[in-house]
Amino acid sequence: MVRERLRLAAARSDRPGVEIPRPGPIHSLLVDDHALEQLDVFVVALGERIDGIQEAESEGQLEEAAKRAAELAIEAQALGLPPLAEAAERVVASCRLGAAGAAHAQIVELTEVVTRVRLGHRGSVF
């Protein structure tokens, strides 16, 4: 399954102009005004947060990547973003197992989920 995702990701970049359809944007389950303000701040910071996870993984610091992903999972769950929380939890699990290849694959998947969250949030604002 992980190899298939990596193959599909590679296929997308190997064939310019050929886009493999991906799932749509992810929207928060929250409706409270105060929570939506928190969500705004959270989504704006997502780019830097995923960069930090990717950087830790690329430097072989899987425990640091797991720590950052765990923090992300907790916040995502609190802000009504279960798909993001679940993807981050899979990163935590693979990093804590010390499985570098699996961790990388899960971080690639997490990055796609982050993109979908950002698209969903941007769509709800505009």
* pLDDT tens-digit readout, 30-85: 666 666 778 889 999 999 999 999 999 999 999 999 999 999 999 999 998 999 99
Query: Of 56, 85, 59, whose CA–CA distance to 68 is shortest?
Result: 56
Q: At what angle do helices 82-96 and 62-78 cross, to 10 degrees?
A: 160
| Structural domains counted in the chain | 1
The pLDDT assigned to 2 comes to 39
φ, ψ dihedrals at 22, nearest 5°: -120, 160
The pLDDT assigned to 5 comes to 44
The pLDDT assigned to 45 comes to 94
* Structural domain contains residue 5: no
The pLDDT assigned to 120 comes to 82
Q: pTM to 2 decimals?
A: 0.74
- The CATH code of the domain that includes 121 is 1.20.120
* Structural domain contains residue 8: no
Q: Which two tokens stand for residue 24?
A: 């749509």
Long-range own/partner contacts, residues 71-74 (CB < 8 A, 24 or more apart): none
